[in-house]
Amino acid sequence: MPLHDPALPKDRIRLKKIAVFAYHGVYAEEARLGQRFNISLDCAIDLSDAGRTDDLQHGVSYADLAALVQEIAVSERFHIIEALGERIAQTILAKHPRIAGIAVTVEKPAAAIAALFETIEVTIQRNRSHA
């Protein structure tokens, strides 16, 4: 889920597969029964000051990012995971001005489709010029 914009910082904060149990989906059964979703973040951010000073004020708290993902994923209901990913991306960019760009991948391993698969996933990529 890399961010390819050459104008973005090369440094990254990544959180992989934050697991949440939520009620997203088009079908009534998904809203009633719920299912597991895995959400990953790839944040483009200049971490040179944080690395040089050893001070979190020059970076972003991983715990804050994970908590924000969990809060959005379990407190709101979305019919499609594209909308969930969009909401997470826009909210993180709005709340964390140090993050220049973000890719949010939402996995739905138990999607209700008639096929055998490991997971269904959508990746939303946004940066400050698109926010």
Whether the predicted pLDDT of 2 surpasses 80: no
Catalytic residue among 10, 17, 95, 108: 108
Token output for 51: 């690395």
Backbone φ and ψ of 83, nearest 5° = -70, -40
Question: In the CATH hierarchy, which top-level class contains the domain 12-127?
Answer: alpha beta
Q: What is the pLDDT of residues 33-67, one digit of tens each?
A: 999 999 999 999 999 999 999 999 999 999 999 99
Query: Is 95 among the catalytic positions?
Result: no
Q: Name the residue ranges covered by the structural domains of the chain.
A: 12-127
Q: Look at residues 1, 67, 77 and name the one whose alpha carbon lies nearest to residue 35.
A: 77
Compute the C-alpha angle 93/3/131, nearest 5°.
30
Whether the predicted pLDDT of 30 surpasses 90: no
Reported as a pLDDT band with limits 50, 70 and 90, residue 112 is confident
Dist. CA 19–CA 70, nearest whole Å:
8
